[in-house]
Amino acid sequence: MSFLSETLARVKPSPTIAVSNLAAELKAAGRDVIGLSAGEPDFDTPEHIRAAGIAAINEGHTRYTAVDGIPDLKAAICAKFKRDNGLDYTPKQVTVGTGGKQVLYNALMATLNKEDEVIIPAPYWVSYPDMVLLAGGTPVFIEAQLENDFKITPDQLEAAITRNTKWFLFNSPSNPTGAGYSRDELKALTDVLLRHPHVWVLSDDMYEHLAYDGFRFCTPAEVEPQLYDRTLTVNGVSKAYAMTGWRIGYAAGPEPLIAAIRKVQSQSTSNPCSVSQKAAVAALNGPQDFLAPNNEMFVRRRNLVVDMLSAIEGITCPVPDGAFYVYPSIAGLIGKKTPEGVEISSDEVFATELLNDCGVAVVFGAAFGLSPNFRISYATSDELLQEACSRIQAFCAKLS
């Protein structure tokens, strides 16, 4: 019998972290590698947020805190939901965790039983299925096709719901595609959910502020107020505020669910980092004016990458509405061979050959549940993106 748990045997380590680690190892060994796999901004946490963290240390905020968040952070989160989403929550309806990742994990741990199913549109953020499996549930996938801009249809959602469906896990703008659902598209999905009162909504709004070309972000509890009592709205400071290392995420929803999440957290991490919570208060309550120029920069980078990849025969690269990823299809390259005779039989082979041949690290589509594609994170400098895309162009030109 294995020493390790059977539950752990059901899951795999994060493929995006694995690719990032491999790229870092190759770099350390002297290879010229451009890593486009990490999902984090390349700039520093804004100065006023860093200052709040330093002040928190100097003022002695260095002890355990309330399990699911300090009162001033919960107040800032309630104000944020009101300001940005028109949603009313009290502090008792709010939980804070060590990143959005832990909040999602806590919610699944707190709610899933053996027979429970969680509907996940694919392509999905790599962690969703494995978190569901770790919590003892079963992920059920709906494939969102490139032809439908990587968005699922109401009919697909309707067909995926069973007696055992517990959650519908929704993410817009999406990691890995950057696709965003318009209010009408989301309303069509929430209309389906109204017909199935046993299904709850887990909305991952991590990329709310990274929305481009006039795309208007919206979230299920706001679009369909009748779902308010069965929606957990998850968000965080990692992406928009360049705070990935501080590890603060949060969620709001019905009080009994928040209490259950608190119970899980009280027996695992006790509380999110005291210093980071103070910094997150500064992020949410402070000036938001740096978001717009950051987004202009992301749009420029997105356009650069989309243009350069679209110029490659065999690659189709849709233009994303938000986040900082593109998810091009390599359907037109499948079956071709490298000069060394390696057949590009899958997106995994493509990503491996790309890394070996020209030192560009991307994540293969199978990791996100939709092939043959790959994901590029364009949260890096224009120069590196330009160089990386030139290398991808040269690599693809050699395939025959």
Q: Which residues bind ligand PLP (CB under 6 A)?
A: 39, 99-101, 125, 171, 175, 204, 206, 236, 238, 244, 249
Q: Which CB atom, from 53 or from 100, has the smaller least distance to ligand PLP?
A: 100
Least spacing, CB of residue 382 vs ligand PLP, in Å: 22
Q: Which CB atom, from 237 or from 315, has the smaller least distance to ligand PLP?
A: 237
Q: Which CB atom, from 20 or from 338, has the smaller least distance to ligand PLP?
A: 20
What's the rounded Cα separation, in Å, for the pair 345 and 338? 11
Q: Which CB atom, from 35 or from 39, has the smaller least distance to ligand PLP?
A: 39
Least spacing, CB of residue 243 vs ligand PLP, in Å: 8
Q: Give, for 107, the enclosing helix (H) or strand (E).
A: helix 99-111
The end-to-end CA distance of the chain, in Å, is 48
Per the DSSP assignment, residues forming a β-bridge with 361 are 35
Alpha-carbon separation of residue 198 from 156, 193, 315 (angstroms): 18, 9, 41
What's the rounded Cα separation, in Å, for the pair 52 and 366? 41
Least spacing, CB of residue 28 vs ligand PLP, in Å: 23
Cis peptide before 121 (omega within 30 of 0): no
Q: Which CB atom, from 125 or from 395, has the smaller least distance to ligand PLP?
A: 125
Q: Which CB atom, from 125 or from 141, has the smaller least distance to ligand PLP?
A: 125
What's the rounded Cα separation, in Å, for the pair 313 and 352? 20
Least spacing, CB of residue 317 vs ligand PLP, in Å: 20
Least spacing, CB of residue 227 vs ligand PLP, in Å: 20
- Residue number of the CB closest to ligand PLP reads 99
What's the rounded Cα separation, in Å, for the pair 118 and 139? 5
3-state helix, strand, coil in the chain (%, to 5): 45, 15, 40
Least spacing, CB of residue 329 vs ligand PLP, in Å: 20
What's the rounded Cα separation, in Å, for the pair 363 and 380? 15
